[in-house]
Amino acid sequence: MQQRTQEITIIGGGLVGLSVALGLLMAGQRVRVLDGADSDARASQGNFGLIWGQGKGWDFAPYANWTMDALTAWPAFAQQLRGLSGIDVALDQPGGYEFFTDPTEFDAFKAELAQQAIHLGKRARYEMLSGDDLRSQMQGIGPDVVGASFSLCDGHVNPLRFLRALRCSVQTMGGHVRLGATVSAIRPQPKGGFALVLADGETLYTEQVVLCAGLGAATLARDLGFNTQVRPQLGELLITEKLGDRLPFLSSTIRQVDEGGVQIGGTKANAGLNDHETLPIMSKLAHHAVTVFPALADVRVVRAWGALRVMSPDGYPVYAKSSMHPGAFLVTCHSGVTLAPLHASVLAEWILNTSATPELEAFDECRFALSHAA
Amino acid sequence: MNVASRFRTLPETGDRVQFTLDGAPASAPAGVTVAAALLAHSGAWTRQTVKGAPRTAYCMMGVCFDCLVEVDGTPNTQACMTLLREGMTVRRQTGLRDLNGGHCG
Amino acid sequence: MAEVDLIIIGAGPAGMSAAAFAARGGLQVLILDEQPHPGGQIYRNVAQNRSKRGFLGQAYAAGTDLVDALDHPHITLLTGATVWRLDKGPQVTWSRGAKSQTTSAAHVLLATGAQERPVPFPGWTLPGVMPAGAAQILMKTAGMLPKDAVLAGSGPLLYLIAAQMIDAGSPPQALVETQTFPQMLSATPHLPRALFGLPTLRKGLSLIAKIRKAAVPRYTAASGFHATTTESGNILFSFRANGRDQRLTCGLLLTHQGVIPGTHITRAAGIEHYWNAAQGAFQPEHDLWGATDQPGLHVAGDGAGIGGAEAAASAGELAGLNILCQSGRLSSDTRNQRAARARAALFRARAIRPFLDAAYPPPTDILAPSDNTIVCRCEEVSAGAIRQAIREGAQGHRQIKTSLRCGMGPCQGRMCDATLRGLLSEGKASQPISPPRARSPIKPIALGELAALSPPQEEPA
């Protein structure tokens, strides 16, 4: 006997899934979130917590603008989360640096930012600083830093508290988050709706399904007729013991968590599903940190880890509606923190196809089919 | 800091080492760890957590990190894993450590 | 440093014994140990105490032979050396004197021993509350005797420490034991097997006799531990026993609930672990020689499963023989012949364990303490907060860690993992909780020291 519900089911209880769930709940929908096992890849539990626009979408205007929309929406979103969950996600948007020790890389990034500024128009607010400019503005920067960019809108949150705040907010709004519910297959039903087969053998039915399962979406996306192939990209990170005083900067590779620990990261590697931390990268990250800010040298690393970014073929978000199976949606991106305010608001309008639907055509997965054809 | 030591140190012969604790002179038998010297000196806390809770050396084998103190200017040093040396400067810690020689406000 | 055939991590009974056998068989051995002297926790400073501190007893003094055997031209012992990472190869990365380096060898033996099981209850973080084993380390390494102390908990080490304190002229004020009569009764079926370890059993009985003779008050089936500080800095210890609330004021409250394998390094090395239900702890999978599923890695001693010092020395010997065999220096026949003595000794040493494990299990209110108990000492996370996160849906170590930072401090979960498991398992007897992931550095390491390992002129991508 099939039990049909009118709920929208979100597959994936990470930052993306919970943000989408929150948006749908705010729009008055009934929502159920299915989350997998504690041991899943879970990019949401290994990330850096940046709210970052610098350089993003320099060669893809829709992404540059979408990211800028998100940066602008963050303060109100953080307030909303606090109201719903009682949790302060420690939003801090002091502007962010990108430090360089190689002049060629510095010049290349300068060109990218100039290109991005064309897309953003008046909204682009950044400056390029020489090493000496930087050192005169901020004490403690190492002599080997040749320059930095500084963008006024960038910031960060406490990513772990953000995840918890999202989960609590979804629950406060009446969303049902079910953990340990790994979806192993999705079967579109002949008369509409979907059967979700769980790993433990249970089957759930839903009218609409939004796939936000990160790397877990690979086979499920095929079940729904999507062609997007996500791939894992390994990022390695270090976290230090907590400091009582504050680092004088936020950068894309070195940031101090509100609780005091310094996170160091930003590496990229293709290692399949292997998320082990490696000695060469750990020491490179440490080397980078003490090069940028030598006073960090006696601060102890408490833990290193690897986490897998969820990358679409071109690295940009994918927002796709299944043409084959109406009611099925695919949402995937690697900037689940930065884009969360949009995922928790206007993306719901797009899913519900209201009159306020944002223009998201550029993020459809048909772009991959086209590039194949070309 | 007026809590008597919770230990009685055996009257064994041997050299003693002079050190300072929060600026005040103190001494302990040669060859002991900083943690042992502090526990022999007083029964009071040697570290306060972020929330202000008093702590002192606990496991004595390097696993719990409750014995963290500042030794010769290096904060968060494991006292139970550090041998006491002549002339050492030991300071109790309150709250989180700061950057050493850093330039942060 | 010359070419090394075998790196041994930990100079306790297992590591020292393995080193001696491997070196005598012709291998070049490097032993790394964090402490200033060899001996492990059980034989801490044993060589330094040769002619003093006799109250520590004969079983302790016996450890000098193992230390003396390290004096061999093929053995390099480096103390004050902290291993913080293990890579395939195997390759060991370690820190000594604020400098890190990496050493490779065909074989690595992980003999990193045990730690005391955390004993959380309200007040266990106060100065004046300590593990009994920690007080024993102070007796061994500094000649410091607990003053006006109460020993609380259960297990054979509690009796040993009480007896050592009596012999040193500083007897405990009281012995507060948590084991119950039904638990002792349930252990009796294991007694016939325990008779194979008769000397150990006899020693235990003589310890108890010594405690009786010294007229140390004993409470049994105690529960509901709670500690606060008095104005003078003493510990006010309250608990329930004999059907009523009890209160003792003491200078030191020394707790003990047995020991558990320290598995950070074995988990980080990728060795498969399993739950030893009888001992209430995870331990690495290994065969009878200590060989693991990771090429080149052996385990021996309490880090591979709790068996005590004698079992550890025998297991070290077996691992040493097996490594000699794998290195082509012993045929498997010779290895098997020469292993007979160690195997018999290992059997005898382990024979008493099932009895001890059943008679002195950690009590439920220690495994899953009351809401107002701090569980994670580093991040000051209470059992109540953890139960709340479990109600919010957390099902495993990682979700609790990421929700509450429990286990994310400098001890890296060593003081809370066991309790977290207890809380996660509450009311879910059948559901297995996987051990948390252990990541390097296994012990904190300064950024500058880590950076120095980076080849020059390279920057992160």
Whether residue C159 is contained in a domain is answered as: yes
Q: Name residues whose C-beta falls within 8 Å of residue B55's C-beta, 6 or more positions apart in sequence.
A: B45, B46, B47, B48, B49, B66, C125, C127, C377
Question: Percentage of chain C surpassing pLDDT 90?
Answer: 89
Q: How many CA atoms lie within 13 A of C196 on its CB side?
A: 14
Q: Looking at chain A, which residue has its C-alpha nearest residue C268?
A: A276
3-state helix, strand, coil in chain A (%, to 5): 35, 25, 40
Question: Percentage of chain C surpassing pLDDT 70?
Answer: 98
- In this complex, do A297 and C405 lie within 8 Å of one another by their Cβ atoms? no
Using alpha carbons, select from A210, A214, A217, A207 the residue that is nearest to residue A184: A217
Confidence of residue A44 (pLDDT cuts 50, 70, 90): confident
- Pair (C155, C205) in one structural domain: yes
Q: How far apart are the first and last CA of chain A?
A: 48
Note the Cα A94 to chain centre separation in Å.
19
Using the Cβ of B16 and the Cβ atoms of chain C, whether some distance falls under 8 Å is answered with no
Average pLDDT, chain C: 95
Residue type, C335: R
Instruction: Identify all chain C residues contacting B57, using CB atoms and an 8 Å cutoff.
Output: 130, 134
Examine the pLDDT at C144 and tell me if it is beyond 90.
yes
Each domain of chain B, given as residue ranges in start order, spans 16-92
CATH of the domain at C204: 3.50.50.60
Number of Cβ pairs < 8 A linking chain A and chain B: 41
Q: Name residues whose C-beta falls within 8 Å of residue A52's C-beta, 6 or more positions apart in sequence.
A: A67, A96, A154, A155, A156, A252, A335, A338
Domain A232-311 fold is D-Amino Acid Oxidase; Chain A, domain 2 (3.30.9)
- In this complex, do C149 and B6 lie within 8 Å of one another by their Cβ atoms? yes
Using the Cβ of B62 and the Cβ atoms of chain A, whether some distance falls under 8 Å is answered with no
- Residues B28-55: tens digit of each pLDDT: 999 999 999 999 999 999 999 999 999 9
Examine the pLDDT at A179 and tell me if it is beyond 90.
no
- Pair (C126, C183) in one structural domain: yes
Examine the pLDDT at C360 and tell me if it is beyond 80.
yes
Using the Cβ of B31 and the Cβ atoms of chain C, whether some distance falls under 8 Å is answered with yes
Examine the pLDDT at C1 and tell me if it is beyond 80.
no
- Residues C336-349: tens digit of each pLDDT: 999 999 999 999 99
pLDDT at residue C460 in the model: 47
Q: Which of B96, B103, B105 sits opposite A242 (nearest CB)?
A: B96
Compute the average pLDDT of residues C189-215.
91
> pTM of the prediction?
0.94
Instruction: Identify all chain A residues contacting C394, using CB atoms and an 8 Å cutoff.
Output: 179
Compute the average pLDDT of residues C375-383.
98
Q: Which of A101, A171, A240 sits opposite C447 (nearest CB)?
A: A240
Each domain of chain A, given as residue ranges in start order, spans 8-50+161-230+314-373, 96-152, 232-311
Residue with tokens 């060109």: A111
Angle between helix axes C417-425 and C397-404 (nearest 10 degrees) is: 110
pLDDT at residue A10 in the model: 97
Examine the pLDDT at C240 and tell me if it is beyond 80.
yes
DSSP B33: B
Report the relative pairing of strands C114-116 and C259-261 from DSSP bridges. Answer: antiparallel
Q: What CATH class is the domain B16-92?
A: alpha beta
Q: Which of C392, C398, C441 sits opposite A45 (nearest CB)?
A: C398
Boundary of a domain, candidates C330, C358, C379: C330
Using the Cβ of B43 and the Cβ atoms of chain C, whether some distance falls under 8 Å is answered with yes
- How many CB atoms within 10 Å of residue C3? 9
- Residues C46-79: tens digit of each pLDDT: 999 998 999 999 999 999 999 999 999 999 999 9
Q: What does the alpha-carbon distance between residue A140 and residue A145 come to, in Å, rounded to a whole number?
A: 11
Chains in contact with C via at least 3 Cβ–Cβ pairs below 8 Å: A, B
Examine the pLDDT at B26 and tell me if it is beyond 90.
yes
Examine the pLDDT at A90 and tell me if it is beyond 50.
yes
Phi, psi values for residue A302, rounded to 5°: -90, -30
Bridge partners, residue A316, by sequence: none
Residue type, C366: I
Q: How far is A296 from chain C (nearest CA, A)?
A: 7
pLDDT at residue C456 in the model: 65
- Pair (C306, C323) in one structural domain: yes
Domain A8-50+161-230+314-373 fold is FAD/NAD(P)-binding domain (3.50.50)
Q: What does the alpha-carbon distance between residue C426 and residue C421 come to, in Å, rounded to a whole number?
A: 9
Compute the average pLDDT of residues A319-347.
95
Q: Which of B95, B100, B104 sits opposite A298 (nearest CB)?
A: B100
Q: Name residues whose C-beta falls within 8 Å of residue A48's C-beta, 6 or more positions apart in sequence.
A: A156, A159, A235, A237, A255, A263, A265, A266
Instruction: Identify all chain C residues contacting B8, using CB atoms and an 8 Å cutoff.
Output: 144-145, 147, 170
Examine the pLDDT at A41 and tell me if it is beyond 90.
no
DSSP A40: S
Compute the average pLDDT of residues C117-129.
98
Compute the average pLDDT of residues C145-159.
96
Helix (H, G, I), strand (E, B) or coil at A50: strand
CATH of the domain at C379: 1.10.10.1100
Please report which residue ranges of chain A form alpha helices under DSSP H.
15-26, 61-85, 103-120, 131-137, 159-172, 217-223, 279-292, 340-343, 346-352, 366-373
Whether residue C447 is contained in a domain is answered as: no
**What is the arrangement of strands in the sheet containing C99-104, beginning at the earlier edge strand?**
C82-87, C91-96, C99-104
- In this complex, do C410 and A302 lie within 8 Å of one another by their Cβ atoms? yes
- In this complex, do C143 and B29 lie within 8 Å of one another by their Cβ atoms? yes
- In this complex, do B98 and A245 lie within 8 Å of one another by their Cβ atoms? yes
Confidence of residue A2 (pLDDT cuts 50, 70, 90): very low
Question: Percentage of chain A surpassing pLDDT 70?
Answer: 97
- In this complex, do C41 and B76 lie within 8 Å of one another by their Cβ atoms? no
Whether residue C446 is contained in a domain is answered as: no
Domain count, chain C: 3
Confidence of residue B101 (pLDDT cuts 50, 70, 90): low
Q: What does the alpha-carbon distance between residue B14 and residue C292 come to, in Å, rounded to a whole number?
A: 46
Whether residue C286 is contained in a domain is answered as: yes
Chains in contact with B via at least 3 Cβ–Cβ pairs below 8 Å: A, C
Minimum mean pLDDT range among A13-27, A68-82, A87-101, C188-202: C188-202
Q: Do A366 and A357 contact (CB within 8 A), yes or no?
A: no
Helix (H, G, I), strand (E, B) or coil at A131: helix
Confidence of residue A301 (pLDDT cuts 50, 70, 90): very high
- Pair (C216, C239) in one structural domain: yes
Report the relative pairing of strands A96-100 and C244-250 from DSSP bridges. Answer: unpaired
Instruction: Identify all chain C residues contacting A101, using CB atoms and an 8 Å cutoff.
Output: 459
pLDDT at residue A13 in the model: 93
- In this complex, do A140 and B103 lie within 8 Å of one another by their Cβ atoms? yes
Examine the pLDDT at A177 and tell me if it is beyond 50.
yes
- Pair (C81, C122) in one structural domain: no
Whether residue C164 is contained in a domain is answered as: yes
Q: Name residues whose C-beta falls within 8 Å of residue B84's C-beta, 6 or more positions apart in sequence.
A: B17, B19, B28, B30, B32, B33, B34, B36, B37
Phi, psi values for residue C269, rounded to 5°: -80, -5
pLDDT at residue A115 in the model: 97
Give the domain range for residue C377: 368-425
Confidence of residue A1 (pLDDT cuts 50, 70, 90): very low
- Residues C402-435: tens digit of each pLDDT: 889 999 999 999 999 999 999 999 987 666 788 8
- 0.90 surpassed by complex ipTM: yes
pLDDT at residue A373 in the model: 40
Examine the pLDDT at C152 and tell me if it is beyond 50.
yes
Compute the average pLDDT of residues A317-331.
95
pLDDT at residue B102 in the model: 42
- Pair (C284, C248) in one structural domain: no
Q: Which of B50, B76, B98 sits opposite A300 (nearest CB)?
A: B76
Examine the pLDDT at A3 and tell me if it is beyond 70.
no
- Residues C14-26: tens digit of each pLDDT: 999 999 999 999 9
Helix (H, G, I), strand (E, B) or coil at A291: helix
Compute the average pLDDT of residues A82-96.
97
The token pair at A218 is 């690979």
Confidence of residue C326 (pLDDT cuts 50, 70, 90): very high
Examine the pLDDT at A114 and tell me if it is beyond 50.
yes
Examine the pLDDT at C210 and tell me if it is beyond 90.
yes
CA-to-CA separations, C300 to C23, C110, C352, C363, in angstroms, rounded: 17, 7, 18, 28
Q: Tell me if A8-50+161-230+314-373 shares its fold with A232-311.
A: no
- In this complex, do B95 and A244 lie within 8 Å of one another by their Cβ atoms? yes
Q: Which of C434, C445, C454 sits opposite A39 (nearest CB)?
A: C434
Examine the pLDDT at B104 and tell me if it is beyond 80.
no
- Residues A201-233: tens digit of each pLDDT: 999 999 999 999 999 888 899 999 999 999 999
Examine the pLDDT at A323 and tell me if it is beyond 80.
yes
Angle between helix axes C132-142 and C156-167 (nearest 10 degrees) is: 40
pLDDT at residue A40 in the model: 83
Instruction: Identify all chain A residues contacting C460, using CB atoms and an 8 Å cutoff.
Output: 253, 266-267, 281, 284-285, 287-288
- Pair (C94, C44) in one structural domain: yes
- Pair (C253, C274) in one structural domain: no
- In this complex, do B96 and A248 lie within 8 Å of one another by their Cβ atoms? no
Compute the average pLDDT of residues A315-332.
95
Q: How far is B4 from chain A (nearest CA, A)?
A: 30
Instruction: Identify all chain C residues contacting B45, using CB atoms and an 8 Å cutoff.
Output: 127
